[in-house]
Structure 1
Amino acid sequence: MTDAREPHGNPIGTAVRGVLGLIAGVVRLVTGLIALVLVLHIVLVILGANPQNGVTQLIAALADSLTLGLRDLFLLGNPTVQVIVSYGLPALLWLAIGAVIVRVLRLFGRPRSGLA
């Protein structure tokens, strides 16, 4: 019989919290990497990277596929501002999506009191 004062008396609950914490970490890592690719594309374009370079083409192709349909949502006159908005907004959105998912996972992973 477990002591009611013991904070981790339920091994299944502890395991579930551990798995949810691991999933939250993976979600944070993946959404952060996606945002990093988008920001890296912005930096490469602003700095005038060679568009024929293989690395530049790879980053551009990845960035184009990760914009969530927001690329060219706003058509602006300045090409630099256009790139910043077209890829910056999706980067922020990916970070927000990741933060919400992590928050939900942590909410479900919170220990429950046995009083409910």
Structure 2
Amino acid sequence: MTGVARTGWGITFAPLTVASTRKLHALLGENCPLDVPVRDVEQQGLRVLLQSKLPQLYFCTYLLRSYHIELLFFVGDVQLFEQQVFENDEDLRAAATAIFDDYLTRDGAFEVN
């Protein structure tokens, strides 16, 4: 299989070209690295994976194919929650409740399994 990249999830992708690299930059921004070593992901965790282009796309593809994309939405919403500065406890509680209702309650919009 020359000219083909395989992931550990059994998904096959064509090799990157200049055009596909431009598309990745347009989609995910210029600031995040195109790729990161597996060692960095193992040492630093999911945040490193989600701050890169190719590993993030492979991970999203895996989650979509395994019907677990809500996990990525949950992680993203929790990260935004962590970064947000709330004016008062009521706003903080409302944001936390929204995450809980969407992901952690039975029949939530994106119930995490």
TM-score normalised over the length of structure 2: 0.31
